[in-house]
Structures are given as C-alpha cells and as structure tokens.
Structure 1
C-alpha cells in the first residue's frame, strides 16, 4: 500500500513539472478588428501620436496582420504575446475592452497604448 502511495505521489510531482511556471491564466482570443497604437501627446499638440509600424488587425483564430505581413499571438489571461510575424516578441496587457498597453522588456507597462479602432476591413 505504501508503495502505491509513493508511486502516485511521484507521478503527481512529475506531472507538475510539465506545467508552465509562468502561466498567466486561461488561453483566449483577442476581439477581432483594426487596432491603432499611439503614445500620449501633450496639452500643446495632439492628444495621441500614432506610432508607425505598430498598427495591427486581429483576424481569425490567434492570428494578426500588419502592413508588413501576418503572424500569430498567444492570449493568456490578460497578457498578449505576439509569437510569430512582424510583431514577434511584443507583449501587451489587456486594460479593458479594446484597450491594450505595451509591456516593456523590463516587465513594466510602457506609455504605448493600442485601441480597437473598428471592425476588420
């Protein structure tokens, strides 16, 4: 009986080693549509300054497209990571419906925000 208990405990421990340690939550999809990314402006000029090369469209499944090509993303909990394509490595945090903020290489939120500007064209 003790041997069976030890085997079950060892199997459970081995199974836990295959679970990703950095899991953020459930896998999901981002709302389809056109997304525009911008930095905040100031009181003397434009409220938002669009950033060239950062706009993207979320299309079917876990896919996106840009002017430079298509790619894939992983949406895990509130974090989105672009895994292939022109935006590979870019990470975003979901702030609310259609509002995202970039996560820098240091893990802190940057000033860049992306918002859903409308449906797919």
Structure 2
C-alpha cells in the first residue's frame, strides 16, 4: 500500500513539471496619452512629432487612436497591438514603462518612439 501514495505523488510532480509557464508576466501600460515621434537632428528640434501614430491607453488592455480602437497585450517588455487599426504593431518598453520603441518585423528597434504624456 505504500506504493500507491508515492505513485500519486510522482504523478502529481510530473503534471506540475509539465504545466506551461508564461515566459513573461502579463501586465498593462500606464493609462493615458502616448505621443509618438522620430528623432530630430542637431539643426532642429530633438524630435519630430508623428501625430498619426499617437494613441491613448484605456483600461482593460484597450487603446484608442484617430483611426479607431483595439486591444493590446503586454508581456514583460513587449507590447503587441492585437486588434484594431494597429493590429500587428509591436513595441518594447525602454528605460521606463512610459517610453516605448517600435519594433520592425524582425524585432529590431525602429526610429519611432512613443512617450507617455499623462492622462
């Protein structure tokens, strides 16, 4: 009879070991307005505003922009717009959770950056 409890214990450990674990924790961005820009140059302003890329983060992993609204998923440092007009766009948090850098299809940083500007 001693083998039956140890068998259950062994099976329980196997199931626990096989359970999927998220690679990064799911979280949300700071609610409010994000203003997007590309870097400027020494002869002009530090950044060039890209108003068509601006967006606002709402509650429940939702965003809204001039083109419409949708949802996003944030896991660790990555932010992926999963529905709406920005579907497929990917960003990575930089320096703080209030500074995002857009990534290209290969996962490399582009020149576009979006900075939190409050509610």
Q: What TM-score, normalized by structure 2, do the two folds share?
A: 0.81
For residue 86 of structure 1, what is the aligned residue in structure 2?
85
Tell me, yes or no, if structure 1 residue 15 matches structure 2 residue 51.
no
What root-mean-square deviation, in Å, do the aligned CA atoms of Structure 1 and Structure 2 show?
Answer: 2.0
CA gap of 1:94–1:6, structure 2 versus 1, over 3 A, is same
Larger Rg, first or second structure (1 or 2): 2
Q: Aligned residue pairs: how many?
A: 114
Q: What TM-score, normalized by structure 1, do the two folds share?
A: 0.80
1:38-94 Cα distance to aligned partner (Å, 9 max, x none): 100101122211124211000111000001111000111111111001111111111
Alignment of structure 1 residues 50-65 onto 2, 5 Å: 50-65=49-64
Q: Distance in 2 between matches of 1:31 and 1:15?
A: 31
User: Once superposed, which parts of structure 1, at least 4 consecutive aligned residues long, lie more than 4 Å away?
Assistant: 1-10
SS at match of 1:65: strand
- Structure 2: runs of 5 or more not aligned: none
